[in-house]
Structure 1
């Protein structure tokens, strides 16, 4: 049995900020899809995936992000005995070097007073999953392999120049692959900011371009386009459940393009 680990990193649209998902309906997950919560009563244990997931730094009420829809597409391509394990490491309002509503920074090696380094938290959480393989206290997962890393972040960095944000994003990718050798060959896929966000904040174009051009800079990386305009629940920023379903499908299309 192989367990295909899907790592989710980013801010609020990675975490999900919606309430219109259907955890017992169209958004119910295949029993083969599991998760490793970073918060809540199941933190540190492998449990069946149910929306909303519980990442590090989860803040209520939570919502559905793109990882669950992505995993549902992935499950359709796998042998029946295989499993998928989502490792959600997200926190809303967080940027590379600064933050908004919630304290936290993503840039490797960067220190900001009062703000935890979320990249370090991600390394620790991914390492915990890999170290726990076949530990019955955590949940037996069989042969683990990191299948993909999904990144959705950038709203808090809006206004930065493309080259500046790109340099930070590239460091996230290269340091993650260096610190977690099991991720060295895993596709790293960046998701685009909502189209409504760019329309409301044209100064986000630099970040959007840096995300879109990631595959031009680093091998084995991909890009997931945003859903069409009108898939946000607040006029500009946070994707609805349908928006997240579409984004998850776009992540999966980018993944399939990379893995064949």
Structure 2
């Protein structure tokens, strides 16, 4: 792997379109995971491609393949997530010879308070983002989180404020005041408070922040995590949102 990574780093084509993947388990990917085991089924939309790379936990670039978060979300079983279908759908819309660099940062079961500035999750994400800035341009943060904040009224009520602060802090710390965020409105969560969190996500009104709605996408038997089919659909939705809102016609 070391020789492969060294070859990639020396490749003159490696000016990357960089995307940060962050949030909790549905961003880390649980598609195809049943009873803590991944079935290793990889859809066509998630097949590896030499022009789609991932930034590993040991800070090296390698050809991306699911599970993208296997060495990031290490206490849980990872499967198919939205990152690979997102990159697969976006790549043909980029200039010839472009490379997409995915930077996995999501960790399952995490509430938004655990992503506050100064926390380990936040610091690790910002550190990884800064480590890749010399390899290309960070084009967007893809953010899917909030299920853990549907479990109490207090968490749900404060979600919008916490999300706004999180976005502002990330932009400040990366010195990218207009950094695009594409966030996902929840498909699942505690029924008592899920609509309160979804309302905060859908109605968030900040520059260069858009939302795609995962409601109605099919879930695993746990009724919490998107299944493989849903993750492919979500990846395409995220790509469509990026193309529509942030990809310049002459890119």
Q: Equivalent residue of 2:112, what SS?
A: coil
Could you say which residue in structure 1 is the equivalent of 2:171?
177
Partners of 1:120 and 1:155 lie apart in 2 by: 21
Unpaired runs of 5+ residues, structure 2, are: 1-12, 33-38
Could you say which residue in structure 2 is the equivalent of 1:122?
125
Equivalent of residue 62 in structure 2, options 47, 72, 82: 47
Q: Equivalent residue of 1:177, what SS?
A: helix
Partners of 2:242 and 2:181 lie apart in 1 by: 9
Unpaired runs of 5+ residues, structure 1, are: 98-104, 110-115, 134-140
CA contact (8 A) 2:210 2:241 kept: yes
Q: Equivalent residue of 1:149, what SS?
A: strand
Is 2:81 aligned against 1:65?
A: yes
Partners of 1:80 and 1:58 lie apart in 2 by: 35
Partners of 1:246 and 1:24 lie apart in 2 by: 11
Question: What's the TM-score once normalised by structure 1's chain length?
Answer: 0.80
Name whichever structure is richer in helix by fraction. 2
Partners of 2:153 and 2:123 lie apart in 1 by: 23
Equivalent of residue 245 in structure 1, options 220, 226, 232: 232
The alpha carbon displacement at 1:56 in A equals 2.6
- Aligned-residue CA RMSD in angstroms? 2.0
CA contact (8 A) 1:22 1:28 kept: no
Moved over 6 A (4+): none
The alpha carbon displacement at 1:107 in A equals 1.8
> Structure 1's 119 and 7: CA in aligned 2 closer, same or farther, altered over 3 A?
same
CA contact (8 A) 2:90 2:243 kept: no
Q: Equivalent residue of 1:233, what SS?
A: coil
Partners of 1:60 and 1:163 lie apart in 2 by: 28
Q: Equivalent residue of 2:239, what SS?
A: helix
Partners of 1:180 and 1:25 lie apart in 2 by: 34
> Structure 1's 24 and 193: CA in aligned 2 closer, same or farther, altered over 3 A?
closer
> Structure 1's 120 and 160: CA in aligned 2 closer, same or farther, altered over 3 A?
farther
List per-residue Cα deviations over 1:92-114 (Å, max 9, x = no partner). Answer: 101023xxxxxxx11224xxxxx
Q: Equivalent residue of 2:210, what SS?
A: strand
Could you say which residue in structure 2 is the equivalent of 1:31?
50
The alpha carbon displacement at 1:24 in A equals 7.3
